[in-house]
Amino acid sequence: MDGVLHNAWYAAAWNHEVSETPLARTLLGEPVVLYRNRAGRAVALEDRCCHRGLPLSRGRVDGDAIECGYHGFTFDDSGSCIRVPGQARIPPGAAVRAWPILEKYQIVWLWAGTPEDADETLLPDWQVMDDPAWRVVKGDPPFHVACHYELFNDNLLDLSHLAYVHIRNIGTGAVPDFPIVTSRGDRTVRMIRWIMDSPPAPLYARFGGFDRNIDRWQYAEAQVPSLNTVWVGCLPAGCGAKPGDHPAAIGRGPGGRDGGGFEFFNLNAITPETDRTSWYFYAHSRNFALDDPEVDEMFRVELRGAFQEDVDILAAQQANMDRHAHKPRDWLDINVDGPGLTLRRMIGDAVAREREAA
C-alpha cells in the first residue's frame, strides 16, 4: 500500500484471536496469516504460499510450522520453507515473508517495516489495559470499516461529532459550543476540550447516576500513524474541575471517581487493510465499578452501538468521496479540524521521510 507509514506498529489482532488455528487478515494491503507456535508466541507470515500462491491460512499449524493445504510445503515460524513433499531438495529462496510481532496490552502488534527497526518503545503507554486497578472491556471482534484509516483518525480527533452522530448515547448538543485546545509533540497530537456545566449525555447520566449538570472533559492524544488514546470523564458541575487541568499520570485526573464523577480511557488502534478499508480495534478501561457485570455490559453493548454509528458514518463518507472523486484537498476546514489536519501532515511527513530513506 502506498501512502502508509511502514516503520510503525499496527494492531493485527486481539491476543485471544491468535491460536493454533491460522487466522487470515489483510493488513496494509498484505495478506497475513497469524498463528501461535509451540511456545505460545504469535507468528505473522505472508498468507501466500511461494509454490502456487494458496493462502497458508487454508493449511494447518504443525508445531512451530505451518503446512500449506495444497501440496504440503511447510514453513517454519521465520517463514523459511523446511519441507517440500516428494523431494529432499528445498529450492533456493523458498520462503514467505515474516513480520516482527509484539504482544502487549492484549494486542498482537505487527511491525510493518524494516525488521531491524522494530522498536517496542514506539508503542503508546496503554498500561491501563493490564493494570488490575482498571477494568477493560474490549471491542471484540474488531470492526471492519469501509473507509481509509485517516478518516477514522479525523473522527477520533474531532469529537464535536458527538453532538450529531452520538446524540442518543454519549453526545449532547453542547459539545461543539466549547472550544478545543490543540498541541503537538514529535509524534503526537493532542486535543483537549472541557464541556462545563452542561446536562449529561444519556449514557453519562446512566454511568454516573447524575440528575444535574456536569463538567466533562475529553483529552484525545493521537500518535502517528493511527493510535489514539481518549481519556474522558466528568464531575458534578461546580465540584472543582478546572479547564486546562491535565493528568499528571494515568488515572490521576481532576477527581473522577473520588469527586463524585467517573473517568475512563478509550484506546483506539486503526490498521489500514486496503486503501478503502480498515480494522478498528478499541477498548475501554475504567477505574470504577470494577466487578460490576452490568457496567461491563453497558460498555460492551452501548458503546459498541455508539461506535457502530461512527463505522456507518465513515463508510457513507468514504463511499460518497469515491463516487464523486472527492479528495481531502477539496474539503472545507474549520477550527475543530485542526488536530486531524495536524496528524495528517505529520503522517505525510513521516511517509515522505521513509520513502527518501528507502
* Residue 280 binds: one of ligand FES, Fe ion, none (C-beta under 5 to 8 A by kind): none
Contact range with Fe ion by CB under 5 A, out of 50-58, 241-249, 296-304, 310-318:
310-318
Find the shortest distance in angstroms from Cβ 166 to Fe ion: 6
Would you say 86 or 293 has its CB closer to ligand FES?
Answer: 86
Find the shortest distance in angstroms from Cβ 352 to ligand FES: 38
* Residue 146 binds: one of Fe ion, ligand FES, none (C-beta under 5 to 8 A by kind): none
Contact range with Fe ion by CB under 5 A, out of 202-210, 239-247, 308-316, 328-336:
308-316
* Residue 310 binds: one of Fe ion, ligand FES, none (C-beta under 5 to 8 A by kind): Fe ion
Q: What DSSP state is assigned to residue 198? A: E
Regarding 310 and contact with Fe ion (CB under 5 A), the answer is yes
* Residue 14 binds: one of Fe ion, ligand FES, none (C-beta under 5 to 8 A by kind): none
Binding mask 257-296 for Fe ion (x = CB under 5 A): ----------------------------------------
Beta strands in the chain (DSSP E): 9-14, 23-27, 30-36, 42-46, 60-62, 65-67, 74-75, 81-83, 98-99, 101-104, 107-111, 135-138, 143-145, 180-184, 188-198, 214-223, 227-236, 262-274, 277-286
d(CA 274, CA 318): 13
Beta strands in 237-355 (DSSP E): 262-274, 277-286
d(CA 142, CA 124): 19
The order of strands in the sheet holding 98-99 is 23-27, 30-36, 42-46, 98-99
The cell for 174 is: 453542547
Q: Which residues bind ligand FES (CB under 6 A)?
A: 49, 51-52, 54, 68, 70-73
* Residue 305 binds: one of ligand FES, Fe ion, none (C-beta under 5 to 8 A by kind): none
* Residue 54 binds: one of Fe ion, ligand FES, none (C-beta under 5 to 8 A by kind): ligand FES
Find the shortest distance in angstroms from Cβ 85 to ligand FES: 8
Residue type present at position 46:
E
d(CA 111, CA 7): 7
Find the shortest distance in angstroms from Cβ 45 to ligand FES: 12
Residue 354: in which H helix or E strand, if any? helix 338-357
* Residue 73 binds: one of Fe ion, ligand FES, none (C-beta under 5 to 8 A by kind): ligand FES
Would you say 49 or 157 has its CB closer to ligand FES?
Answer: 49
Would you say 16 or 52 has its CB closer to ligand FES?
Answer: 52
Helix (H, G, I), strand (E, B) or coil at 288: coil
Q: Find where cell 518503545 sits.
A: 121
Find the shortest distance in angstroms from Cβ 73 to ligand FES: 4
Q: Are strands 277-286 and 143-145 parallel, antiparallel or unpaired?
A: antiparallel
Chain residues in the site for Fe ion (CB under 5 A): 310
